[in-house]
Amino acid sequence: MKKDPNQPDGTVELRHRAEERLKTRTPETKDENSPLQTLRVLHELQVHQIELEMQNEELRESRTQIEAALERATELYDFAPVGYFTFSSDGIIQKVNLPGARLLGQERSRLVGRHFATYVSKDTGSIFHSWLKEVFTTNAKQTSEIVLFRESQPPLAIEIEATPSPDGREARAVAIDITSRKALEEQLRQAQKMEVIGQLAGGVAHDFNNILAAVILNLDMLRIQLELPPEAQLPLQNIEGLTKRATSLTRQLLLFSRQQALHLEHLEINATLANLFKMLERLLGENITCLLPASSQELWVDVDASMLDQTVMNICINARDAMPNGGTIVLESSLMEFSGGRSSANPEARDGKFACLRISDTGCGMDAEVLKHAFEPFFTTKDIGKGTGLGLASAYGVMHQHKGWVRVESVVGQGTSFYLYFPLAEKAGIAHAMIPQRNLAKGRNETILVVEDEAALLLVSTRALAMLGYQVLSATNGPEALMVWAEHRDRIDLVITDMRMPRELTGLELAQELWKSKPSLKIIIMSGYSIEMTQNSTSGEQHYTFLAKPFDVKILSETVKKCLA
């Protein structure tokens, strides 16, 4: 029997079974009008009715299951964590789920039939069209990253991946919001770039410090040894002033590269700001209102006071320059506690308690492009001659050297806020002096070995020490110093060595070698870098004196005398 396509399978089978029964009726049942036959027909109809009802119930259950599955699929489609789109080959949106509509910042009903490229930024429009062409020409999965432009909303970076349908007439795409990820990637690239620049700045500062030290010592030698005519005094004063400016620039480079020596003190940050506030008011001028809201909470931190003052002043001076017609600067402190690691809003945050110093202004603000470069050394938006571009770079270095960080928020026309985060110290303590107190006096014919790879600095420092009454030996590197030591070990009272030197041995490694043969030996380590670089001694009981470059004759004489006392 041929199956009727308009009837369910169960109905066809019942009809077939009824026809078979009629064909196999016995003679006794061929009388269609007999009561027995009527009863049998009724019975069969009842059976058929029951079977039909059972099949209808099965159909109803199947339909319910299909509807439930469809509802679940719809929920998954509409409430998925990603956007789903169906495109035609020319980029027309045919279907879109609710998250996809939210990505585009539109109602779903307004999107169907519109070209997806309408919502793609101009910068990434060509990328989208190339990606769409690849999807339909290669018939393979294609992935791309584009930026969406949305009305009255910030741009959105998305990763979009599409697979063409078997007939090639449409493509189904998945879109994921990667704005936060891209921001973190950019911050990582920026941090890596700043690290490289910091290393370069530190290397330049090291070499420049050696040159400055030689210039300063030679100036002092001229003043001490020669009776200069009056007309020579002014040029010398000018040179001295220039060396001070150069020293200041070098210090800022080292602050940026986190290699400036720290002189830590245990300070309450609100009291420190109160002391600095009066100076700021005079510095900023009458058209700038400087506010320092009272804080009832003590916030103790371990900081270098001069670095903190310099950082705050640098930021406030930048704020003043951003308000040529006057404005307001507010300094306020607060206790911040972080848990759960970093976030896109505060990527350098880490778990713990921190004292936060916020410096905000009502100036012109910075756009996104300027913000990207704000902490780079020598980057400035000021006119030539009105800034070095090192103020914010120094602030960046200072904060990281204090194991904290700095964050900036800015809106064009609405001002800028800097947030300085210092690790919180629990209770007050005693400040530790990093440089010994100075007691200026000449030597008593003690013998000093000077180890320095910069020839000009080695020459002038040995002459200065000889002028101060010392016997001086010299070496240009570690191995050469060991040879001099082997010959004159018994008469050497003090070794002055640079921290960084070529030829295998650093100043600290040289000191450790010399201490092995003479544990009582006094050693001075010179460096333009942070004292932290020289605090890796494993000798435990051995000690040295740190001498920061550049230095003058007075500092050199006082440091040597104190070390030999």
Q: Helix 230-256 vs helix 179-225: angle between axes, to the nearest 10 degrees?
A: 160
Whole-number pLDDT of residue 68: 64
What CATH class is the domain 264-423? alpha beta
Whole-number pLDDT of residue 435: 32
Question: What is the domain partition of the chain in residue ranges?
Answer: 9-78, 83-177, 183-256, 264-423, 447-564
Q: Are 264 and 303 in contact (CB under 8 A)?
A: yes
Would you place residue 431 in the very low, low, confident or very high pLDDT band (cuts 50, 70, 90)?
Answer: very low
Whole-number pLDDT of residue 497: 94
Would you place residue 538 in the very low, low, confident or very high pLDDT band (cuts 50, 70, 90)?
Answer: very low
DSSP helix/strand/coil, 537: coil
Would you place residue 427 in the very low, low, confident or very high pLDDT band (cuts 50, 70, 90)?
Answer: low
Calpha distance 366→44 (Å, rounded): 89
- Strand 447-451 with 405-411, pairing: unpaired
pLDDT exceeds 70 at position 372: yes
Calpha distance 244→237 (Å, rounded): 11
pLDDT exceeds 60 at position 434: no
83-177 carries CATH number 3.30.450.20: yes
- Strand 405-411 with 415-423, pairing: antiparallel
Calpha distance 366→60 (Å, rounded): 66
Whole-number pLDDT of residue 280: 83
Whole-number pLDDT of residue 437: 33
Q: Please write the tens of the pLDDT for every residue from 271-285.
A: 888 888 877 887 788
Q: How many residues are there in the chain?
A: 565
Would you place residue 194 in the very low, low, confident or very high pLDDT band (cuts 50, 70, 90)?
Answer: low
Between 312 and 200, the more confident residue is 312
Average pLDDT of the segment spanning 446-465: 92
Between 135 and 23, the more confident residue is 135
CATH architecture of 447-564: 3-Layer(aba) Sandwich (3.40)
Least confident of 87-91, 150-154, 391-395, 538-542: 538-542
Whole-number pLDDT of residue 391: 65
pLDDT exceeds 60 at position 228: yes
Q: Which residues pair with 162 in a beta bridge?
A: 142, 173
Whole-number pLDDT of residue 423: 92
Calpha distance 117→148 (Å, rounded): 9
Calpha distance 256→250 (Å, rounded): 10
pLDDT exceeds 70 at position 50: yes
Alpha-helical runs (H) found in 285-380 = 305-321, 368-373
Q: How crowded is residue 267: how many other Cβ atoms within 10 Å of its Cβ?
A: 22
Average pLDDT of the segment spanning 500-505: 76
Would you place residue 383 in the very low, low, confident or very high pLDDT band (cuts 50, 70, 90)?
Answer: low
Would you place residue 429 in the very low, low, confident or very high pLDDT band (cuts 50, 70, 90)?
Answer: very low
Least confident of 75-79, 139-143, 338-342, 412-416: 75-79
Least confident of 5-14, 170-179, 180-189: 5-14
Instruction: Give the global pTM.
Output: 0.47
Least confident of 66-80, 329-343, 527-541: 527-541
Between 414 and 429, the more confident residue is 414
- Strand 415-423 with 93-96, pairing: unpaired
For the chain, how many helices (H) and strands (E)?
14, 17
Q: Where are the beta strands (DSSP E) in 24-155?
A: 83-88, 93-96, 142-148
Whole-number pLDDT of residue 31: 57
Would you place residue 328 in the very low, low, confident or very high pLDDT band (cuts 50, 70, 90)?
Answer: very high
Would you place residue 420 in the very low, low, confident or very high pLDDT band (cuts 50, 70, 90)?
Answer: very high
Average pLDDT of the segment spanning 309-329: 87
pLDDT exceeds 90 at position 160: yes
Average pLDDT of the segment spanning 268-297: 84
Write down the mean pLDDT value for the chain. Answer: 79
Cα separation of the two ends of the chain: 122
Q: Please write the tens of the pLDDT for every residue from 104-159.
A: 888 888 888 899 998 999 889 899 999 999 998 887 889 999 999 877 778 889 99
Would you place residue 366 in the very low, low, confident or very high pLDDT band (cuts 50, 70, 90)?
Answer: confident
pLDDT exceeds 90 at position 375: no
**Torsional sign, CA 397, 398, 401, 406:** negative
Q: Are 119 and 203 in contact (CB under 8 A)?
A: no
Fold of 183-256: Helix Hairpins (1.10.287)
Burial of 63 (0-12, 13-18, 19+ CB in 10 A): exposed
519 token code pair: 């544990």
168 token code pair: 């090639």
Whole-number pLDDT of residue 474: 94
**Torsional sign, CA 220, 221, 222, 224:** positive
Average pLDDT of the segment spanning 487-516: 88
pLDDT exceeds 50 at position 503: yes
Average pLDDT of the segment spanning 483-508: 88
Share of the chain above pLDDT 90, in %: 20
Average pLDDT of the segment spanning 193-197: 67
